Amino acid sequence: MDARPDQGEDATTQRFQQKRDRILDAAAQLINRHGVKGMTFVDVAELVGLNTTSVTYYFKRKELLAAAVLDRSIDRLEELIRDAAAQPTPRARVARYVQAHFELHARIQLNRERPYTVLSDIRALGEPFRTDLTARYVGALRAVREFFAPPLTARDKVLRTIRAHVLVQNMFWLPGWLALYSVDDYPRLSRRMIEIFEHGITPAAAAWTPQLLTVKTPSRTAEAEGMPENFARAATCLINEKGYRGASVEQIASELNVTKGSFYHHLEAKDELVLECFRRSHERIELVQRAAIDANGSQRDRLASAIATLLDVQLCSDFPLLRTTALQVLPSEWRTDMLERSTRLARRFAGMMIDGISEGSVRALDPLIASQVVMGTLNAAYDLRGWISTLPDPTAISLYGSTVAHGLLADPVDFAVD
């Protein structure tokens, strides 16, 4: 009897699993490029060399395929967390978690590991998938929170949650800027990022004294005539909370108590509104940066004030910045343009840090990486605004800002936000 492994029930099962994995890999790539909304069975079938009917044999509906891809990504995330959690100290756990992510992205770039899908599009799924996967993600975030020392007070628990959130979200932001570097650079990038998470950007014992900046009204807002500005505000909040799919034209119009016809009177399509929301968000960041550059004090003082002002927007205002996760739904040429503008904003922060290093007010660090940490931290802050809403605004801004000022491990020095 021929017992070769490519025959019999085991071989059939193996072939089934291999083809299923190829479909998941293709779907993962498409979701990373276009989001759940933009992933289609036709494109998946083309990537794996199958017809659409063959894909539907494995996954009857697109949402089942998307949920399976995201579920597999959470499996991968949980593996990274378990690996880091085995380290003996908070410092070692944070370092291993960062290092493991860079190693994973290196293997993916070298085609030694399957694609890893960003988890932001969980919001785009219907029920019960959204609730189930969100619960798994929250469980993973709680596991990362255990990396840090046990809380002694309610404030300590809040701080641990903030630190876990900042760490996880910055790892999710890596694909937004890693393409600027060679895979050979990843070990150095990992070490430099770990240093920032360990020590922050502030020299030891230096004061972190932010002041909320007075910022000029964005030109787009000043020129807007009522409804377009209101649509941008409503769309930004809905997309941040529910994702692109959850923020339907009907819901945006309902938030403003107007008709869909009114929406289409001002805008041709929802993608155009998302693009406008990004433009407004980038313009507002740029205006804060300019106000900080024109302010008095050291470069550290100016950075502190810019970060605190943007955190105030994300945590406390009724018109936050649009999350970068919405980039996935934009056409590729628009997405590239928005990523380039985000990079320019990060480089302005880097320039402020370089000047601060020269004058001694900022710790010696890699300013390009530190600026991406700042961008990732600011972008992710919106997610915690409901969770920390019971804190006074200055306390919330102070605790969240401490992750940039002092890192994720030091006892933060309380600082007043004027």
The Cβ of residue 298 has, within 10 Å, a number of other Cβ atoms equal to: 17
Residue-wise pLDDT for 310-334, tens only, equals 999 999 888 999 887 777 666 777 7
Name the band, by pLDDT with cuts 50, 70 and 90, for residue 219: low
Q: Which of 313, 415, 410, 312 lies closest to 363, judged by CA?
A: 410
Name the band, by pLDDT with cuts 50, 70 and 90, for residue 225: very low
Strand locations in 190-253 (E): none
And the tokens for 359? 């004058």
Q: Which range scores top for mean pLDDT: 37-51, 261-275, 350-364? A: 350-364
Q: Which of 39, 26, 247 lies closest to 123, judged by CA?
A: 247
The average pLDDT across 277-292 equals 93
Share the mean pLDDT of the chain: 86
Q: Which of 366-375, 385-394, 397-406 has the lowest mean pLDDT?
A: 385-394
The per-type count for the chain, helices as H runs and strands as E runs, is 17, 0
Residue-wise pLDDT for 189-218, tens only, equals 999 999 999 999 999 878 898 999 988 776
- Residue 4: the pLDDT is 37
Whether the pLDDT of residue 5 is over 50: the answer is no
Burial degree of 358 (CB within 10 A; 0-12, 13-18, 19+): exposed
The average pLDDT across 71-95 equals 96
Q: Give the residue with greater pLDDT, 209 vs 289.
A: 289
Name the band, by pLDDT with cuts 50, 70 and 90, for residue 417: low
Q: Which of 49-63, 95-109, 244-258, 356-370 has the lowest mean pLDDT?
A: 244-258
Q: Which of 417, 375, 321, 23 lies closest to 169, judged by CA?
A: 375
Whether the pLDDT of residue 262 is over 80: the answer is no
The average pLDDT across 179-192 equals 96
Whether the pLDDT of residue 384 is over 70: the answer is yes
Name the band, by pLDDT with cuts 50, 70 and 90, for residue 263: low
Q: Give long-range contacts, CB 8 A cutoff, 24+ apart: 215-218.
A: 215/284, 215/287, 215/288, 215/291, 215/309, 216/287, 216/291, 218/280, 218/283, 218/284, 218/287
The average pLDDT across 388-405 equals 88
Whether the pLDDT of residue 264 is over 90: the answer is no
Name the band, by pLDDT with cuts 50, 70 and 90, for residue 265: low
- Please report how the helices 62-85 and 129-145 are oriented relative to each other, as an axis angle in degrees rounded to 10: 10
Q: Which of 192, 206, 211 lies closest to 306, judged by CA?
A: 211
Name the band, by pLDDT with cuts 50, 70 and 90, for residue 237: confident
DSSP string, 270-314: HHHHHHHHHHHHHHHHHHHHHHHHHSSS-HHHHHHHHHHHHHHHH
- Residue 41: the pLDDT is 93
Burial degree of 294 (CB within 10 A; 0-12, 13-18, 19+): exposed
Whether the pLDDT of residue 249 is over 60: the answer is yes
Whether the pLDDT of residue 7 is over 70: the answer is no
Distances (CA, A) of 118 to 142, 163, 245, 246, 269: 18, 20, 16, 18, 25
Are the C-beta atoms of 414 and 155 separated by less than 8 Å? no
The average pLDDT across 122-142 equals 90
Q: What is the pTM of this model?
A: 0.88
Whether the pLDDT of residue 406 is over 70: the answer is yes
Q: Which of 1-15, 132-146, 154-168, 284-298 has the lowest mean pLDDT?
A: 1-15
Residue-wise pLDDT for 84-123, tens only, equals 999 999 999 999 999 999 999 999 999 999 888 878 778 7
Whether the pLDDT of residue 154 is over 50: the answer is yes
